[in-house]
Amino acid sequence: MKQIQILGTGCAKCKTLAENARKAIEEAGVEAEIEKVEDIKEIMKFNVLMTPGLVIDGEVKAAGRVLSPEDIKKLLVS
């Protein structure tokens, strides 16, 4: 099972990234769990300076931009 974390304080872009991640999981048929990380101290542990951030299995895959469901699917299956 993949562990996906959405890093952000709850802004619109963070919510869009979370929704895109849900769509990507559903479309890819991958088993995954999404966790929203909103605590700034926890976000800083990932060395992410701009949100939203996307972390898959502990590795930062994107920061400061909203990935499309297609982009996230590529990251999930690689």
**Positions marked active-site:** 11, 14
The interaxial angle of helices 69-77 and 12-28, nearest 10 deg, is: 50
Among 2, 1, 3, 4, which Cα is nearest to 52's? 4
The two three-digit tokens of residue 17, written as one number: 């990234």
